[in-house]
Structure 1
Amino acid sequence: MRIFDFSLLRRLFSFATPYKGSLYISMVLTIVLAVLSPLRPYLIQVTVDKYISSQWMRMLVTITLVQIGVLLLESVVRFTFSYLTNWLGQSVIKDLRVAVYRKIVKLNLSFFDRTPIGTLTTRTINDIEAINDVFSEGIISIVADLLMIVAILVVMFVEDWRLTLISLSPFPVLIIATWMFKESVNKSFHRVRNAVAALNAFVQEHITGMVVVQAFSAEKREYARFRQINKDHRQANIDAIFAYSVFYPVVEIILAISLGLMVWWGANKVLSYEVTQGVMIAFIMYLNLLFRPLRILADKFNTLQMGLVAGERVFRILDSGDHIADSGQQPAIAVRGEITFDHVYFAYTEDRYVLKDISFHANPGETIAIVGHTGSGKTTIISILNRLYEIQQGHIKIDGIDINDYTLAGLRSKIGVVLQDVFLFSGSIYENITLRNPAISRERVEQAARLIGMHEFIMQLPGGYDYQVMERGSTLSLGQRQLISFVRALLYDPSILILDEATSSVDTESEMLIQQAIDKLIAGRTAIVIAHRLSTISKASKIIVLDKGEIREMGTHEELLKLGGFYYKLHSMQFKKAVNTP
């Protein structure tokens, strides 16, 4: 990123357009603060030179009340300014976070395949929070400080330009120190941001996969890796703290030198009556007011830069082209379930095709089974049917209409999916089944649960359908989670049902329940079944045998056994294994 990217800053401020009233008021307040800042020292100068020296007590009381009024007014304006800029920042990041999440949920799954979850978490939470500082501590606050500095300098030069030049003679040293501080802290902040992203990614990944870490006794190794990442994060923060620890004393020393030079030169002028005592007192206050924003100006500039860096990362997600184009117009209201794959090619990365020239046809109400070795492309077929990924070549049609012509919501509403790896969210069983769809009544949920024999089990849990499952459904067994996901699929009454190893994680009793429900469910519906257990698909209308992304065989169970090819070998291996199993 450039030293200061104005185009990026303009884009960030475009999110403040709905709150332009607050933005304009904040800008006006910066001018008011700039005018008020040198007013109190000037009033004190007048008090000392005119009223104290002449012992004019009535005017002394009056001007003291005026000073109190100015102080109260400045306090109110500063509070209003601080509140408005922070409110503006929080409002912007609220809208920006909604925009980012809306974008994330529409991204192509290939984006998630190559982007760590912790990185996306950092972008959505930490980086967007840093953007708040662009408004609360960034450009508006910097402009306010610069205007105040200019106003104070103007007043100082008008009062006594020679005294001003003497007082500001150490300023070149301050400018050099400020620049060095800014560069040092900027590098440290970059390292801190990268370290935070690494920490988030590591913790997210390893807490999710803790069962693997513990099962393979890898706690010590992973703990050592975490210590190193955490050490890098600490060191980046310590480097920033070191820069602050050096910079602030340097500013204090330069301020002390300025005051010393001003007193040394000014005292001689006071004795010769060339400078009044009130001017000397006012200049001491001017210098303190001048150095107060200078102490934090470099820090605010770094905060602004880090907000822009965070904004650049966030906009990179918003500008990502890895999304499924929802340009279809067909609503998919009445889908019969006819499926056609016409010379389909698909690759996750460039030209490394995992599906090659896939062509098959399923009539409405037919059950199509797909078998093959691990990695042959079985799950990929159902992923592209759902438009979770976009194909590179060929066409996929439902009821003779290309799936790209359907709206995404319409297409996916007609396809029910039961995956092998069941994901349950934190919340109640009812919420996990309905996915918080308010249009689905509890009666419909109970009806679907009864269909596969899950109602009695759910009612035995504390709270029944309101039983709170933990993240990923950790309080339920694999089989129970599988059955709940099956109820979820049944509930939406799909025209096309996809079962991806739907019975692989359940015991024999649960499998019998599911198989009975499947028989009821697929009646009159098109079903695509992926299974390793060939015994569960023997009644399929058509069985497709995949190998290395290509269709090797296609036919009924009996036809494929007669061929004596891939399917026959798979069947023989499973049958032999079943016979040899005690």
Structure 2
Amino acid sequence: MKIGLKQFGNLLIDYLKPQKGRVAKFAIALLASIGLQLLNPQILRNFIDTAVAGGSAQSLFIAAFLFIGVALAKQLMSIAATYYGENVAWTATNALRADLVEHCLKLDLSFHKITTPGELVERVDGDIHNLSQFFSKFSVYILGSLLLILGVIVVMFVEDWRAGMAISFFALIALSTLISLRSIAVPYWGKYRQINAEFFGFLGEQLTSIEDIRANGAKNYVMYRFYKILQRWLPTYHKARFADTILWTTTNGIFTLGYVIALALALYLWNQKAITIGTAYVFFYYTTLLSEPIEQIRNQLEDLQQAEASIYRIQDLFQVRSQLNAGGKEQLPSGALSVTLTNVSFSYSDVQGQASTSLRIKKPDIKPELILQDISFHLPPGHVLGLLGRTGSGKTTLARLLLRLYDAQSGSIRLGNVPINQTPLTNLSKHVGLVTQNVQLFQTTVRNNLTFFNENISDERIYETLKMLGLSGWLHSLPKDLDTQLGPDNSGLSAGQAQLLAFARVFLKDPGLVILDEASSRLDPTTEKLIEKAIDQLLIGHTGIIIAHRLATVQRANQILILDKGRVSEYGLREELMQDSHSRFAQLLKTGLTNLLV
């Protein structure tokens, strides 16, 4: 994919426009530095010609001090330009980084299932960091370098038209050559950034599963994969750097040509008595000075090649769209919600295939395996559904559909009288609460972990909820109560305590539909008894779906739904199924739920 100048320009405008003041100061400092660079050779010429002509010492001292003063002023302007440039770069890249993170958070789970966290980190941080020079220096430095080149040409024409023509010819050759070689390294840098992302994705995957790797003796295999990636990574980097070296070699050759032209012309004009020795020195000095902006352009083009590869990858990620639409404008009613599924079918292969197409990842055409097939049931408001089935039967998938983490390929889901895809996702998350067996706690305060940063939930309500769940003692043992920071180790929470905190979240959220996905499976019998009473209170006035791990958990259910290989194996009122000796549920009550799970 070729990145056009329009796309570069749009990116610069979008993220530099809010910083107009800083960009202006940056430009002023840089342009002032350029002006001072053009001035100093004139002072040097005056000094040389005065010395050759036997001028006064006072004139020489004045010229020398003036030269030093201009040089110092030039350095101060360069420092100011660097300062403002770095500020502009960090602000712009942080804004782009924030936009990219927000975009990724809006993407559905099908995207995150095929994209490793390490790869996302590399795209959000590595690729964007690669643009810092592009944002801070590219446009102004390129413009500044071109202005310096133009200034040198104008000054040389003023000195002598032949010198102006010669320096113009040299600048034209230099710039046209560099521009023609601009994109030579882009493909290699793009491939390098991709391998970079794969490496960090691999590293993140291994670090999160370090216990399993060590416990099962998989270290050798991990190191094998590690070296395989490195074997691809280093040669790609060498190719990219070699392509950059072509630019460097070409530039040095051009500089040599420029010096030859300047010296030959100065010698010719001096022999013709057309210029003084000071002017001859100025010719050479300006030619040498001209090498600086050309070198700057070369550096910027070299950075641009890496930036172009990163921009391509960033734009590619921005173009990925969630498979879920944003929903309509219908708001879910408050209070308990009815749940109605009509002929719902779903396949992970289908949605992940769509996501991989968006990412331009080629996947073989495989007929999607349906995880759920023609699921239909109606759960009245305030009732509880006990959802049973073997591992892999589709229980958790059903919960994900009710949260719209995915959309079903066929059929309809309604909460209350509202189709689930017609309510905004933000509204849906307020009315559906989920507790799973895997609890994610964040590195922030206990209060924020419980309320998910909802400031409308009072501390009194939090204390009441934790007291009901038997966590008051644990809370008061913390050094700063609700303001205690939970660290990477969750501040010593046991698995059961962490899950109780997850229950507390749902209590505080007060949703119309509560889904418990084997939420008590990690609790010891004592803690489970503690929470049974809390669950009863939680389900009062709410609709509930309990994905059962133990039969005791579904004793409070009004309805029972048993899934088998993604299909409804049995569905009905719990009391009726209990009384039917031929029902599968009645047999489970006799033999135990274990028979269902194997």
TM-score bin (small chain)? 0.7 to 0.9
Q: Which residue of 2 aligns with 1:451?
A: 468
1:77-116 matched pairs, under 5 angstroms: 77-116=77-116
Give distance in 2, aligned partners of 1:240 and 1:204: 26
Q: Which residue of 2 aligns with 1:480?
A: 497
- Of 385, 395, 400, which aligns to 2:402? 385
Question: Helix, strand or coil for the counterpart of 1:440?
Answer: coil
Q: CA deviation at 1:407?
A: 3.5
Give distance in 1, aligned partners of 2:515 and 2:450: 17
**Which amino acid in 2 is paired with 1:492?**
K
Question: Helix, strand or coil for the counterpart of 1:390?
Answer: coil
Residues 1:156 and 1:494: Cα distance change in structure 2 (over 3 Å): same
Give distance in 1, aligned partners of 2:221 and 2:335: 53
Residues 1:16 and 1:169: Cα distance change in structure 2 (over 3 Å): closer
Question: Helix, strand or coil for the counterpart of 1:545?
Answer: strand
Give distance in 2, aligned partners of 1:500 and 1:576: 17
Normalising by structure 1, we get a TM-score of 0.87
Q: Is the 8 A contact 1:33 1:148 kept in 2?
A: no
Which segment is superposed worse, 461-470 or 203-212?
461-470
- Of 326, 349, 358, which aligns to 2:375? 358
Q: Is the 8 A contact 1:195 1:229 kept in 2?
A: yes
Work out whether 1:523 is the aligned partner of 2:546: no
CA deviations 1:142-184 (Å, max 9, x no partner) are: 2211221232234335434556777899889977985797556
- Of 442, 449, 471, which aligns to 2:459? 442
Q: CA deviation at 1:293?
A: 2.7
Q: Is the 8 A contact 2:189 2:309 kept in 1?
A: no
Q: CA deviation at 1:197?
A: 0.9
CA deviations 1:526-565 (Å, max 9, x no partner) are: 1110013233213310011122322221113453352635
Q: Which residue of 2 aligns with 1:552?
A: 569
Q: CA deviation at 1:525?
A: 1.7
Question: Helix, strand or coil for the counterpart of 2:144?
Answer: helix
Give distance in 2, aligned partners of 1:78 and 1:361: 72
After superposition, the CA RMSD in angstroms is: 3.5
1:157-556 matched pairs, under 5 angstroms: 157-160=157-160, 162=162, 185-239=185-239, 251=251, 255=255, 258-259=258-259, 262-263=262-263, 266-267=266-267, 269-271=269-271, 273-322=273-322, 324-332=324-332, 334-348=334-348, 349=350, 352-460=369-477, 465=482, 468-471=485-488, 473=490, 475-556=492-573
Question: Helix, strand or coil for the counterpart of 2:345?
Answer: strand
Q: CA deviation at 1:236?
A: 4.2
- Of 574, 577, 580, which aligns to 2:592? 574
Give distance in 2, aligned partners of 1:316 and 1:572: 56
Question: Helix, strand or coil for the counterpart of 1:15?
Answer: helix
CA deviations 1:60-81 (Å, max 9, x no partner) are: 4444454344434433443343
Residues 1:462 and 1:206: Cα distance change in structure 2 (over 3 Å): farther
Residues 1:85 and 1:531: Cα distance change in structure 2 (over 3 Å): same
Give distance in 2, aligned partners of 1:159 and 1:352: 80
**Which amino acid in 2 is paired with 1:196?**
N
**Which amino acid in 2 is paired with 1:574?**
G
Residues 1:167 and 1:318: Cα distance change in structure 2 (over 3 Å): closer
**Which amino acid in 1 is paired with 2:107?**
L
Q: Is the 8 A contact 2:145 2:296 kept in 1?
A: no
Q: Which residue of 1 aligns with 2:582?
A: 564
Q: Is the 8 A contact 1:174 1:254 kept in 2?
A: yes
Q: Is the 8 A contact 2:562 2:571 kept in 1?
A: yes
Q: Is the 8 A contact 1:344 1:391 kept in 2?
A: yes
Q: Is the 8 A contact 2:149 2:171 kept in 1?
A: no
Give distance in 1, aligned partners of 2:504 and 2:3: 55
Question: Helix, strand or coil for the counterpart of 2:388?
Answer: strand
**Which amino acid in 1 is paired with 2:426?**
A
Work out whether 1:20 is the aligned partner of 2:20: yes
Residues 1:115 and 1:474: Cα distance change in structure 2 (over 3 Å): farther
Q: CA deviation at 1:318?
A: 3.2
Question: Helix, strand or coil for the counterpart of 1:564?
Answer: coil
Question: Helix, strand or coil for the counterpart of 1:291?
Answer: helix
Which segment is superposed worse, 316-325 or 108-117?
316-325
Q: Is the 8 A contact 1:343 1:359 kept in 2?
A: yes
**Which amino acid in 1 is paired with 2:418?**
I
Q: CA deviation at 1:39?
A: 2.4
Residues 1:213 and 1:464: Cα distance change in structure 2 (over 3 Å): farther
Question: Helix, strand or coil for the counterpart of 2:47?
Answer: helix
Which segment is superposed worse, 25-34 or 93-102?
25-34
Residues 1:261 and 1:510: Cα distance change in structure 2 (over 3 Å): same
**Which amino acid in 2 is paired with 1:485?**
A
**Which amino acid in 1 is paired with 2:430?**
S
Give distance in 1, aligned partners of 2:594 and 2:125: 54
Q: Is the 8 A contact 1:426 1:472 kept in 2?
A: no
Where structure 2 has 5 or more consecutive residues not aligned to the other structure, the ranges are 352-367
Percent of aligned pairs sharing the same letter: 29
Q: Which residue of 2 aligns with 1:148?
A: 148
Question: Helix, strand or coil for the counterpart of 1:416?
Answer: strand
Residues 1:263 and 1:574: Cα distance change in structure 2 (over 3 Å): same
Give distance in 2, aligned partners of 1:236 and 1:475: 45
Give distance in 2, aligned partners of 1:49 and 1:12: 46
Residues 1:157 and 1:239: Cα distance change in structure 2 (over 3 Å): farther
**Which amino acid in 2 is paired with 1:190?**
G
Q: CA deviation at 1:465?
A: 4.7
Q: Is the 8 A contact 1:167 1:259 kept in 2?
A: no
Give distance in 2, aligned partners of 1:176 and 1:521: 73
Which segment is superposed worse, 225-234 or 417-426?
225-234
Q: Is the 8 A contact 1:424 1:472 kept in 2?
A: no
Give distance in 1, aligned partners of 2:74 and 2:467: 69
**Which amino acid in 1 is paired with 2:529?**
M
Q: CA deviation at 1:34?
A: 4.6
Question: Helix, strand or coil for the counterpart of 2:387?
Answer: strand
Which segment is superposed worse, 524-533 or 49-58?
49-58
**Which amino acid in 2 is paired with 1:320?**
V
Question: Helix, strand or coil for the counterpart of 2:592?
Answer: helix
Q: Is the 8 A contact 2:266 2:283 kept in 1?
A: no
Residues 1:344 and 1:188: Cα distance change in structure 2 (over 3 Å): closer
Give distance in 2, aligned partners of 1:237 and 1:480: 48
Give distance in 1, aligned partners of 2:264 and 2:150: 25
CA deviations 1:490-517 (Å, max 9, x no partner) are: 2222222110001112221122122221
**Which amino acid in 2 is paired with 1:477?**
S
Q: Which residue of 1 aligns with 2:363?
A: none
Q: Is the 8 A contact 1:118 1:200 kept in 2?
A: yes
Q: Is the 8 A contact 1:52 1:60 kept in 2?
A: no
Residues 1:176 and 1:575: Cα distance change in structure 2 (over 3 Å): closer
Residues 1:115 and 1:124: Cα distance change in structure 2 (over 3 Å): same
Number of equivalent positions: 578
Which segment is superposed worse, 86-95 or 456-465?
456-465
Which segment is superposed worse, 414-423 or 271-280?
271-280
Which segment is superposed worse, 323-332 or 86-95?
323-332
Q: CA deviation at 1:130?
A: 2.1
Which segment is superposed worse, 305-314 or 281-290?
305-314
Q: Is the 8 A contact 1:181 1:243 kept in 2?
A: no
CA deviations 1:404-428 (Å, max 9, x no partner) are: 4433333322222111221112234
Give distance in 2, aligned partners of 1:511 and 1:407: 35
